[in-house]
Amino acid sequence: MVLLGTSLGPEQNEVLRYRNYLEARLLAPGTIKLRLDALRRLAYEAADSGLLSSDLAARIRRVKGVRNLGVRLGNWLTVEQSLALWRAPSGEKLKGKRDRALLALLLARGLRRHEAVALRIEHLEQREEHWAIVDFKGKAGHVGTVPVPGWAMEELRVWLNAAGIDPRSSVE
């Protein structure tokens, strides 16, 4: 078989058939890439151990993955849906104020649930007249700083004041 001027061996044909099988199952490009990467690593390790010739491992590793066209999958909220979600909890009781503050952070900064749960008041700091979540551990353990918009910070202040926590002493 010839593909773009490159002669493919039977090993590459098998990897291509596996890729085609994964595509036929309508798996996401990222999932297919992950599974093909596992095969490539296996070929590399087998070549390092002397179980597979390095030439054969190189041919297996040259099999191309699928193109990821950057389409975001999933259900994304519209602006109207986001506002409705944020306004859903009643701001009359403490629990509603807490929920509104948490939803404000989730929506404004795109925090993941586990990131929001790990958030502490000490993470909030004012820097150059703007509020930020500092030294924040995000996905894959990455530590960074995330700016917090004024409207979300105002929701936090409302909740902290209602809870009897002085935001000026904790968050300055």
Q: How far apart are CA 135 and CA 56, in angstroms?
A: 46
Angle, CA of 35, 72 and 107, to the nearest 5°? 120
The per-residue pLDDT for 2 is 38
pLDDT in tens, 97-140: 999 999 998 898 888 888 888 888 888 888 888 888 888 877 77
The per-residue pLDDT for 168 is 56
Question: Into which CATH architecture does domain 79-170 fall?
Answer: Orthogonal Bundle (1.10)
User: What secondary structure does DSSP assign to 100-167, as a single string?
Assistant: HHHHHHHHHH---HHHHHH--GGGEEEETTEEEEEEEE-GGG-EEEEEE-HHHHHHHHHHHHHTT--H
The per-residue pLDDT for 91 is 85
Evaluate if pTM is beyond 0.85.
no
The per-residue pLDDT for 130 is 86
Residue 8: pLDDT over 70: no
The per-residue pLDDT for 88 is 93
Q: pLDDT over 90 for what percent of the chain?
A: 19
The per-residue pLDDT for 171 is 47
